[in-house]
Amino acid sequence: MKNLAILISGGGSNLQSIIDSTKNGVLKDIAKVVVVISDNPSAYGLERAKKENIKAVAFDYKNMDKKAYNAEVYKTIKESKADIICLAGYLKKIPENIVNEYKSKILNIHPALLPNFGGKGMYGHFVHEAVVKAKEKKSGATVHFADENYDTGNIIIQKEVPVYETDTADDVAKRVLVVEHEIFPKAIKKVIESEV
């Protein structure tokens, strides 16, 4: 059984899909979520964790010294005895000491087909707006290993969705989110079973 630490910044719908899959999906009997950490004390994902009796911790990134913030996150991950760290809509860069210690054990989900539409500032709605503006015929989601840069780590799994001419960024976002919920647990399973 592998312990998962999930880092979030917002609603936590990917967190929920991971929790659900540990109960009755692809992660059943092989993984459990031991801690949820947020940089945003009002993130709804913290409520999701509490409902499931999972330890939920928030550090107020905006009002903390960055070194102190990173130290607290590191300490919380260590104390949870996490084997794998999942960035489920977590918008902060992972500090180097955590990246180095958890090489190939930090997974991030990105709402596009990397290497396209990745990098600094490319998250959430900004990604879908860029996809629509570029008149792309397809988008999708990518789970990849996180490293010290934004969206550059090796890809674990990707899945495409079509983009239609009449689509708004919201239309694309909805379609991509369905795929995110499907592939994130699968990617975690791949890492656990084959140590990708």
d(C-alpha 103, C-alpha 74), whole Å: 14
Domain positions in the chain: 2-111+142-156+181-194
Q: Is 110 a residue of the active site?
A: yes
Concatenated DSSP letters of 31-97: EEEEEEEESSTT-HHHHHHHHTT-EEEE--GGGS-HHHHHHHHHHHHHHTT-SEEEESS--SPPPHH
The one-digit pLDDT tens for each residue of the chain (196 residues) are 999 999 999 999 999 999 999 999 999 999 999 999 999 999 999 999 999 999 999 999 999 999 999 999 999 999 999 999 999 999 888 888 999 999 899 999 999 999 999 998 898 899 999 999 999 999 999 999 998 888 899 999 999 999 999 999 999 999 999 999 999 999 999 999 985 5
Q: Which of 110, 128, 144, 181 is catalytic?
A: 110
Q: How is domain 2-111+142-156+181-194 classified at the architecture level of CATH?
A: 3-Layer(aba) Sandwich (3.40)
